[in-house]
Amino acid sequence: MLNLSYIIATRNRLPFLKITLGKLLEEILPDEEIVVVDGNSTDGTKEYLHELYSKGKIHQFISEPDKNQAHAWNKAMLLAKGTLIKKIIDDDVFCYSAIRECKNYMLQNSKIDVCISNDLGCHIDSYKNIQNFSRYSEFSKWKEGIVKSFTFGDVHLLARKKSLAYIGLYNTAFVMMDWEYSLRISYLKANIAYYSGYNALSVVHAETVSSTKNVELIKKQGNMGEAMYEYEGDGADISLWSKIKIFIGKLIYKDKATLKTETLTAIDIAETYNYLYDYIEHLYHSEKGVFS
């Protein structure tokens, strides 16, 4: 029986993917699978993934054009065969020890639809300057019925596959798809568990800062989301939402120079990510999380 599906949607980010997927391959357990959706990459990603698939290292793999990111992630979720689904973003860092705590908790508590956790984040140019990020106060207000919806990042979310029938897939019309998805999940009063540990570390670099693009469209979609989900605002308005990295997004807006990330070599990236994986694993062992 498959208890957990790790899903990855990627396109033309092979240096990051090799590190992230390589780490996942070291951690995969017999009751878990890896599902990868490639958006018809032209940088060697497709060939790299096909080789892994042919060797049986990844369990499901397709490569074809996507209409947008939400479309790609939706395909991955529909392909997933596990009881639970964990999104793995190709340029972020994950603590698999913490993910398995969340996994086991959800397997033991079958009524939970999704589990979220605290998050960590950094900019790749200053990767040792790691900040912690929590939505627990917003979660508490929502749980107490003070607000009808709140925002959280899907980088640290685990979802129950059968719960997709209620919470749905990503809205392919939204540029900031994760922002809308979190509001919808909470507005629908899905059963959300909060893990006070850290199962993910968000890494910002120039390619991830999408909140500075299509400003008018994002503003319009923000107004739509606020109306649809009676969102009162909690410091995470869509105009500051950059791939889930709310707090880092704010720093980027204050210092646009951080968008000018120079091209990194494979050695630079490997050194950066080795440091970050060691950091989050050490944090897991030094600060045990609890569930609410």
pLDDT, tens only, 151-162: 998 999 999 999
15 pLDDT higher than 70: yes
What pLDDT was estimated at residue 158?
Answer: 98
Question: 119 versus 207: which is more confidently predicted?
Answer: 119
Here the tokens at position 241 are 């939402």
CA–CA separation, 115 and 156 (whole Å): 8
How far apart are alpha carbons 111 and 77 in whole angstroms? 20
Instruction: Name the DSSP letter for residue 27.
Output: H
CA gap 121, 108 in Å, rounded? 29
Least confident segment among 45-54, 139-148, 227-236, 237-246: 237-246
CA dihedral 180, 184, 187, 192 (to 10 degrees): -110
Question: Rounded to the nearest 5 degrees, what angle is found at the Cα of 130, between the Cα atoms of 129 and 136?
Answer: 150
Instruction: Report the mean per-residue pLDDT for the chain.
Output: 89
Predicted pLDDT of residue 190: 98
Task: Round to whole Å and give the CA distance between 166 and 274.
Answer: 38
Give the separation between CA 253 and CA 216, rounded to whole angstroms: 16
pLDDT in tens, 110-125: 999 999 999 999 988 8
CA 214 to chain centre: 21
Q: What is the pLDDT of residue 208?
A: 63
Q: Is the pLDDT of residue 197 over 90?
A: yes
pLDDT band at 234 (very low <50, low <70, confident <90, very high): confident
pLDDT in tens, 258-284: 434 445 676 689 999 999 999 999 999
- 273 burial type by CB count under 10 A (0-12 exposed, 13-18 middle, 19+ buried): buried
Helix (H, G, I), strand (E, B) or coil at 102: helix
pLDDT reading at 255 higher than 50? no
Q: Considering the entire predicted model, what is its pTM?
A: 0.91
| pLDDT computed for residue 257 by the predictor | 39
Task: Determine which helix (DSSP H) or strand (DSSP E) holds 108, and give its type and residue range.
Answer: helix 96-108
Q: Which CATH class is domain 4-286?
A: alpha beta
Rounded to whole angstroms, the Cα distance separating 14 from 200 reads 20
| Residue extents of the structural domains in the chain | 4-286
